[in-house]
Structure 1
């Protein structure tokens, strides 16, 4: 291995509320996570990313934070965090925490004070506040949309409006305000002082907005450049935080949650900024050879020019389950493809089990996206259903017998459980457990330059550098002969004899 520990690390995203519930209140918690750490160590991951555990009213499942430097008592204590960090390090792993610094909860003391104060008050200066348009300010200040649906502005009721790029209960902070900047830095130091190995910066591109608050042009579509996302000024913030990360020992990692093409994420990876920036576009690439080859080459070119590598995201709590996006075979094939490529990989909890997307009843959905879209977008809860650890009936080992998980688990959920798959050599879990150590032996640390080999139509074949193993990916509908690419198959995403099945990946030497 060359470079810092995170350069080609495999990080496992623990969606805390759905991972393991120790006390039976229906919510996954820090003690529950600690009890399952041996499972993660045996899986072979390098690091664990823990989603927010801070005090929150849960309008957006913990991403609406009341106190960034404390723990929600439903989820544990600060002592539990310290024990978690110690346990993770004892197992030879690293731990990342999730900082939500673009916005706070509407129950945060700063916003409570801003709501009570009047227009023009200092309390409102910490937020993006503008007078409304139209008679008596009854219309929003501009036409910016919320990412969760509807307008991005909500009224105070006195002519002023506040910006919320997400839910109305998540008012956006003004990072130009000295108190906001100082508080964010204090939060960063607080968790680094407790020994965490890295920070995932939520909504990384949203921390700077155009102070003129211009309207979006006619014809604007989500994904187009916007005056509230990925502006040049946001990089001043990350350079400041990167200096703080660098002042601590142990190659502390800063990773940006970025959405967009290579040109959007690459600036976050400049030598004086962060170590990783999420490549989320591959989550939506179809299983066709040309989009993957072109996309991989573009991401490698954009990241290596800054001395970094791509950060491949196989799954996330913000998108549908991998098997829903690519199919069961495709999800396994993409996992082996990503593990062979240069860079880091993020694996979402449950995708190593191949759990499906769950169709929840309307009254079970908690995601504010569902409410704000008027029910037209069912949101992200289908990928957040608490994990099945055991067979039998609910809660399938997620919590104590008789407890009720915060999202309902479907009938038969135990068929996807760790217990069911533990001794099944053909299971998704067995594939993941086999792939991660093999990756360390055969792929990690190899050259970042890809040598593309001739391949059948609808297939990809490459080495990293001029020699070494070959990764063969069959994205077609018919089997292909793998023997021209190696004498021995190290691993295949689907059992293969002389031919590699459709929608499958093999590692060959």
Structure 2
């Protein structure tokens, strides 16, 4: 069974979650913050997750996506020994690790930027999307392919299970196919998750050789339909999702390090409906740290646009506010339902009926008892109900 079949990821942005300085980094700082994750591994297990999806941990200028050295742990987080310790602690608990690979661009101050970066017709180095501190890599340069393959293999040999590929959609799919092909010769079971926001998801997966991509269409359809009280939009997104699922297992989510928190977007009640959808639909789900505690946070503008989305965790789960306990228990129940029905990851999805304020859909598998029916409703009260094998497997209402 592959990771796609039964993985549920706890997605953590380490620089924020572990309290590292991001905007005003002291270049001489050395810390062992990565070890603070030890206190949260049992928490992830008790939540029901099977792996850690970690945001950037490599040496960088500020937020982690401006990489300086793909082979070194960011000194604000620790060192190679701290990483090896984390791998060992995860392995002891049966947790897999996905690392965030930023291979579309690097920091403008990267030591090899001049040699590896894309250049315009005038010969000038190309910045990435106008960000002066980032330079886009030249993926037609064989040295870039060599570097990416070498980085991937280096950390796989140290015990990770796969890679999230940042801005995968801007990298030529033939580049991914070449590089991942090299890596799979040594690690045939490696998982490659590409970040994709728009475009032909199925076509990109087929052309690139990646295992899966982020399902932003479903994310948008989920929160928007709840916020606007228009489940026709979700029905459209579910039909699209069903089509994708015939070709691959999409990576599903209702929150990540780049988007407004689901509880801030649709309120706590709406967040329960969104979580119900997340864990009952086909795909490979991830939980962004704190969503299971009803954390609030909005995507803003400017230098500090993501600060609310990437807050520090307390030293241990025992120090969490009790105000989020009720949401945590709901997540436990829904994830438990998901883990008892791992066939859902590749289930067949069909919308049964919908109106503006409610929707019903069905997910079925190959066996007669693999049948799940879900109703999400905003009226007359907010509620979600999951029927499995003709019995109520989950029900919540406000």
Same fold (TM over 0.5): yes
Per-residue deviation, residues 300-334 of structure 1 (Å, max 9, x unmatched): 21341x3x122212101111111122221111211
Q: Which has the higher helix share?
A: 2
Contact 2:32 2:82 in 1 (8 A): no
Cα RMSD between the aligned structures? 3.2
* Equivalent of residue 215 in structure 2, options 279, 285, 293: 279
Aligned length: 381
In structure 2, relative to structure 1, the CA distance for the partners of 1:108 and 1:485 (3 Å cut) is closer
Asked if 2 retains the 8 angstrom alpha-carbon contact of 1:18 and 1:28, the reply is no
CA 1:243 to 1:487, structure 2 compared with 1: closer, same or farther past 3 Å?
closer
User: 1:28, CA displacement in angstroms?
Assistant: 8.7
Q: Contact between 2:58 and 2:73, CA under 8 Å: does it hold in 1? A: yes
Q: 2:235 aligns with which of 293, 306, 313?
A: 293
Distance 1:106 1:38 in 2: 38
Distance 1:269 1:291, change over 3 A: same
Task: Pick the aligned partner of 1:435 from 334, 355, 358.
Answer: 334
| Native 8 Å contact 1:22 1:31 kept in 2 | no
Pairing 1:258–2:201 present:
no
- State how far apart, in whole Å, the 2-side matches of 1:277 and 1:463 are: 23
Counterpart residue number, 1:65:
67
Partner of 2:267: 327
The answer for the alignment partner of 1:238 in structure 2 is 176
Please give the per-residue CA displacement for 1:218-250, whole angstroms capped at 9, x wherever unaligned.
Answer: xxxxxxxxxxxxxxxx11111123323432447
Aligned partner of 1:179 among 103, 118, 143: 143
Distance change >3 Å, CA 87–CA 248, structure 1 → 2? farther
Q: What secondary structure sits across from 1:297 in the alignment? A: helix
TM-score normalised by L of structure 2:
0.85
Alignment of 1:116-127 (within 5 A): 123=115, 126-127=116-117
Paired with 1:183 and 1:483, the residues of 2 have a C-alpha distance of 47
Of the candidates 135, 147, 163, which is equivalent to residue 127 of structure 2? 163
Matches within 5 A, 1:312-323: 312-323=252-263
Shift of 1:22: 9.9
Return 316-325 or 240-249, whichever deviates more: 240-249
Q: Which runs of 5+ in 2 are unaligned?
A: 22-28
Instruction: Report matched runs for 1:359-370 at 5 Å.
Output: 370=302
Question: How far did residue 80 of structure 1 move?
Answer: 1.4
TM, length-normalised to structure 1: 0.68
Q: CA deviation at 1:29?
A: 2.9
Change beyond 3 A, Cα 1:453–1:161: closer
Distance 1:284 1:455, change over 3 A: closer
Change (3 A) 1:383 1:272: closer
Cα distance in 1 for partners of 2:355, 2:387 equals: 11
CA separation of 1:205/1:256 partners in 2, compared to 1, >3 Å: closer, same or farther? same
Q: State the partner residue of 1:459.
A: 358
Q: Does 1:129 align with 2:122?
A: no
Q: Report what 1:56 is aligned to.
A: 60
Q: Which runs of 5+ in 1 are unaligned?
A: 115-122, 133-158, 208-233, 361-368, 372-377, 390-396, 400-413, 502-509
Cα–Cα, structure 1 residues 329 and 248, in superposed 2: closer, same or farther, change >3 Å?
Answer: farther
Aligned equivalents of 1:55, 1:73: Cα separation in 2: 7
Q: Which has the larger Rg? A: 1
Q: Distance in 1 between matches of 2:88 and 2:277?
A: 33
1:266-314: CA deviation from partner (whole Å, max 9, x where unpaired)? 123228711110011233331221111111111221341x3x1222121
- Deviation for aligned residue 1:485: 9.4
Q: Contact 1:461/1:473 (CA < 8 Å) preserved in 2?
A: yes
Question: What is the alpha-carbon distance in structure 1 between the residues aligned to residue 385 and residue 374 of structure 2?
Answer: 10
Secondary structure of the equivalent of 2:393? strand
The whole-number CA distance in structure 1 between the counterparts of 2:384 and 2:332 is: 26
3-state SS of paired residue (1:168): strand
The residue aligned with 2:306 is 380
Alpha-carbon distance, 1:489 to partner? 3.1
Q: Identify, as 1 or 2, the structure richer in strand.
A: 2
